[in-house]
Amino acid sequence: MTPIAHFHSAFPTKFGIPRQSGIVAELRGRIVFEPPYRNMDALRGLDGFDYLWILWEFSANKSREERGATSWQPTVRPPLLGGNTLMGVFATRSPYRPNPIGLSSVRIERIELSLTEGPVIHVLGADLMDGTPIYDIKPYVTYADCHPDARSGFVDERRWQELAVAFPPHLQALIKPESLEALTRVLALDPRPQYQDNPEKVYGMPFEGYDIRFTVADSTLTVVDIEPL
């Protein structure tokens, strides 16, 4: 397979990206097609849908050789369970899978016809890193894709505990107004690896050309500095 498009977002690295699509609905991103697929006819009718499925590649994952593994791993440690409980890889949405394929549902904000990039799909709520290869998009169809009464395994038993965010006004002023709410929601979801809990440590999260510096103590995340990358 070859990518039909690439995704463009505020996240140049994996750190800080929401762990699921849709949970930070304010996050904006763009689907920019590769030249052979920049044909508006291929999107005919898409403006009648509100959501898309995106099939994409976990392109930033280290290879098995780099991880020192000789084969796929049948169990992983979901962040929702604190990063210490083993679950079957096929019972999770871990990025470390036999094939590095991601699946995300995103909201269509608008479709733009660009003179330089062809048709561009602007979306909301994506959990993709900047530059992620996209292999296909499909419309979200409510009657077939929505199962409101379905069980969700261990996810039903554990809810993600959001943090309070202390964000000084003089640092907020450095962020574009249209991005501030999305950034605050991302921080509230606790971007840290779940095995780390050092209240003295200053973490850095790249976001829209800035390094967002923060600490976490007693369920409160405090933004301490913002530096240009």
User: 35-56 pLDDT, tens per residue?
Assistant: 999 999 999 999 999 999 999 9
Confidence of residue 67 (pLDDT cuts 50, 70, 90): low
- Cβ–Cβ under 8 Å, residues 95 and 58: yes
Model pLDDT, residue 78: 87
Enumerate the β-bridge partners of residue 7: 31
* pLDDT at 132 exceeding the cut of 90: yes
User: 165-179 pLDDT, tens per residue?
Assistant: 999 999 999 999 999
Model pLDDT, residue 197: 80
Kind and range of the H or E run holding 181: helix 177-188
Q: Which CATH number fits domain 164-228: 3.40.50.720, 3.30.2310.20, 3.40.50.1000, 3.40.50.10190?
A: 3.30.2310.20
The dihedral formed by the CA atoms of 41, 47, 105 and 138, expressed in degrees to the nearest 10 = -30
Model pLDDT, residue 96: 87
Reference 108, options 89, 118, 123, 126; nearest CA is 123
Q: How is residue 86 written in tokens?
A: 């083993």
Q: How is residue 77 written in tokens?
A: 């440690």
Extents of the domains making up the chain:
5-61+100-145, 164-228
Confidence of residue 123 (pLDDT cuts 50, 70, 90): very high
- Secondary structure of residue 156 in the 3-state scheme: helix
Query: How does 73-87 read in b/e, with b if 16+ C-beta sit within 10 Å?
Result: eeebbbbbbeeeeeb
Residue where the block lists tokens 């990518």: 3
Mean pLDDT, residues 98-118 taken together: 94
Cβ neighbours around 190 below 10 Å, total: 19
Say what the pTM is: 0.90
Model pLDDT, residue 125: 97
Mean pLDDT, residues 76-98 taken together: 88
Kind and range of the H or E run holding 135: strand 133-139
Mean pLDDT, residues 17-46 taken together: 95
* Total residue count of the chain as it appears in this document: 229
Say what percent of the chain tops pLDDT 70. Answer: 96
Q: Which CATH superfamily is domain 5-61+100-145 in?
A: YaeB-like (2.40.30.70)
